Amino acid sequence: MADSAGQWQEYIRDVPDFPKPGIVFKDITPLLANGEAFAATIAEMAALVGSDVDAIVGIESRGFIFGAALAQKLGLGLITVRKPGKLPADVHSIEYELEYGFDRLEIHRDALSAGHRVVIVDDLLATGGTAAATVKLVGQLGATVDACLFLIELDFLEGHKALSGTRVESLLHY
């Protein structure tokens, strides 16, 4: 296993023209399939989480993979942010703009409250729309976002700009 996150790129597979022509998809399944690489990734993420964080917030769906492992490693709870209609209790929701249209995210109303500090986790930061909506959603429940943490950041899309004012940490940059 590599000693630094920059060398973990060997576990990320480029898939050209997926899901549509012109897109080079960053496939994380080889990293997930390698226990040593996945464990090292979670350890690196854990080192970026402050000691005053109360919970990890995972964004559907690949954010659940990294968020659950990270929460378990740190002894914290996992709060899930889901697409509409997936959570069974009362939810708070937010609509946000995509490149071509709109989408919506939901969180249980009782998942967080004032005074909670969280780290939002997802696999990829692209344009930042989903992460920015999650930051707003968490804030509307009264909680504070300590950081947004990603495995991969596509630097050329400048998604970190959508998260202005929030600490952004990414292990791999493309």
Residues 116, 100: Cα–Cα separation, whole Å:
33
Residues 36, 45: Cα–Cα separation, whole Å:
14
User: Given the structure tokens 């496939």, which residue do they identify?
Assistant: 27
Q: Give the residue numbers marked as catalytic.
A: 62, 99
Query: Cis ω on the peptide bond leading into residue 93 (within 30° of 0)?
Result: no
Sign for the pseudo-dihedral over CA of 117, 123, 124, 129:
negative
User: Given the structure tokens 């703009």, which residue do they identify?
Assistant: 97
For residue 96, give the H/E element and its range: strand 91-98
Residues 101, 167: Cα–Cα separation, whole Å:
27
Per the CB < 8 A criterion, the answer to whether 171 and 143 are in contact is no
Q: What are the structure tokens assigned to 42, written together?
A: 């979670």
